[in-house]
Amino acid sequence: MKTYLLAILCCFFLSAHAQSDLALVGARIYPAPGTPPIADGVVLINNGKITAVGSRQQVKVPPQLRVIDCKGLVLMAGFWNSHVHFMSPVWEHADSLPAAQLTAQLTDMLTSHGFTHAFDLATLNFRNLRALRDRVRSGEVDGPAILSAGEPFVPPNGSPFYVRPIKLPEISTPAAAVAYVKKQLDAGTDAIKIWSASPVGNGKVVSMPIDIVKAATTTAHQYHKLVFAHPTSDTGMRIAVAGGVDILAHVAPDGYTPWKQADVDLLRQHHVAVIPTLKLFKWELEREKVASPEDHPLVKTAIAQIGMFAKGGGEILFGTDVGYISDFNTEDEFRFLATAGLTFDQILASLTTAPAKRFGMSQQCGRVAKGLDADLVLLKADPHANASNFAAVAYTIKKGKVIYDAGTSHK
C-alpha cells in the first residue's frame, strides 16, 4: 500500500515538473534592453525558473527534455501591462465563473498580447478582483500575474464624466484620505489610485486639493506602496508631482500643451514614472466619431509629451488601459511609441525591466536570465526593425507553462 502511494506521489511530482520543464531552441534572444541579442539561442526551464540562457554552442539541451522549436522567432522577457482594468461585467463573479472562461477572457485581453504581468489601475469591487488574482496565482486559471490599485478615489464632485453614470468614491479631507488609503491597503491592494485632476464634462476639470494628495501618498509610502494618479491636464500633472505621486497613469494631453524640458526635469527630479496609454486617446476620438483621429491635437500632444519625456531619460512603463478600452490590440500603441521617438531598447525597457524594477520585482522577472521566473514571450518577427512586431505574439510563457500558443489558438 505504501509503495503504491509513493508511486502515485512520484508520478504526480514528475508530471507537475514535466509541465514546466522545457527547452526553447533556436530563437533570437534579447536578454534585456541594451544587451546584444543572442542569435540561435537556447533557454532551458526547470520547475518554472530559467536555468540556462546562451547560444546553441554554449547550452546543451538535456535528452528527453520537451523542446519547442523557436527557429525564426524572437524571445524576450514576458511583458508588463501597467495599466489595465477588469471593470467589464464579464469579470463579475470571478470567484465562481468556470476557470476555462476566465482563462479565455484573460487570453483575449492580455495573454495573447504577451503580458505575463498586469497592474489593475482601479476596480469598483476589489473583493472580486482579489478572487480573480488568487485563482490565477493558484494556477487554476491561466493568465498574467495581477496586481491591483484597488478602489480609487476622486475629489468632491470629481467623478470623471467618462465613467458616468458610475460615481467614484469622493474624499474631502486629508484625514478621510488617510483612513481610505489604510482601508484599501489593509484589504490587500498593491497600490493606490487617485484622480489629481478629474475631467467632469464640458471641458471642466476638478482638481484634488494638494493636502489630500499628500495625505494619500504619505500613508501609502508608510506601507511601502505606490500611488498612481490620473493627471488629465498639466494642472493635474503638477498637483501629482507636488503631492508626491509615484506614477502618472497617462500622459496629460487634455490641455493640448506639449511638455517642455522644464516639465520633464520636474517629473524626473521627483522620480515620477509615466504610463503613456497613447492609443487610448485615439480610441476616445474614434468613439466620438472624430474624423482622422491620428491628426487630432489630443493624439499629437500625447505623442509629443511622451517623446519629450523619453528623450529626457524619463521612466516609462508600458500600459494601454485595456478593460476600459475594448480594443485589446497593442499594435497602435507600439506604433505611436515609435512615432514619439522611443528606441527599441526604450520600448523593451517599458515592457520589462522598468516595471519589474519600479514594482520591486527585478530579482524575479523582467530579464531573460538564469534564476529568474520563466516568464517569457516569443514574437513572430523582430521588433528591433519595426516596433509593431512587439504585437506579433507567437507564445506567452508564465513560470515555464505555455499559456498562449498562437498556433493552436482560435484567435
Site residues, Zn ion (CB under 5 A)? 121, 321, 324
Determine how β-strand 204-207 pairs with β-strand 197-201.
antiparallel
What are the b/e assignments for 257-296, b being 16+ CB within 10 Å? bbbeeebbebbeeeebbbbbbbbbbbbbbeeeeeeebeeb
Q: Which is nearer to Zn ion, 285 or 374 (CB)?
A: 285
Sequence-distant contacts of 68-71: CB under 8 A, at least 24 apart:
68/22, 68/23, 68/24, 68/25, 68/395, 68/402, 69/25, 69/26, 70/24, 70/25, 70/26, 70/27, 70/378, 71/25, 71/26, 71/27
Nearest to 245 by CA among 307, 293, 191, 180: 191
Least distance (Å) between residue 199 CB and Zn ion: 13
Contact 27, 378 (CB under 8 A): yes
Beta-bridge partner residues of 145: 117
Least distance (Å) between residue 155 CB and Zn ion: 17
Least distance (Å) between residue 228 CB and Zn ion: 9
CA triple 325-229-33, angle to 5 deg? 75
Least distance (Å) between residue 361 CB and Zn ion: 21
Q: Which is nearer to Zn ion, 38 or 121 (CB)?
A: 121
The amino acid occupying position 213 is V
Q: Which is nearer to Zn ion, 68 or 316 (CB)?
A: 316
Dist CA 37 CA 28 (whole Å): 7
Dist CA 44 CA 59 (whole Å): 8
Dist CA 191 CA 45 (whole Å): 31
Beta-bridge partner residues of 68: 24
Q: Which is nearer to Zn ion, 153 or 324 (CB)?
A: 324
Q: Which is nearer to Zn ion, 146 or 392 (CB)?
A: 146
Least distance (Å) between residue 230 CB and Zn ion: 7
Least distance (Å) between residue 322 CB and Zn ion: 9
Least distance (Å) between residue 321 CB and Zn ion: 4
Q: Which is nearer to Zn ion, 195 or 344 (CB)?
A: 195
Q: Which is nearer to Zn ion, 91 or 324 (CB)?
A: 324
* Axis-axis angle for helices 297-311, 261-269 (nearest 10): 60
Q: Which is nearer to Zn ion, 282 or 367 (CB)?
A: 282
Least distance (Å) between residue 324 CB and Zn ion: 5
Beta-bridge partner residues of 274: 248, 316
Determine how β-strand 74-77 pairs with β-strand 376-379.
antiparallel
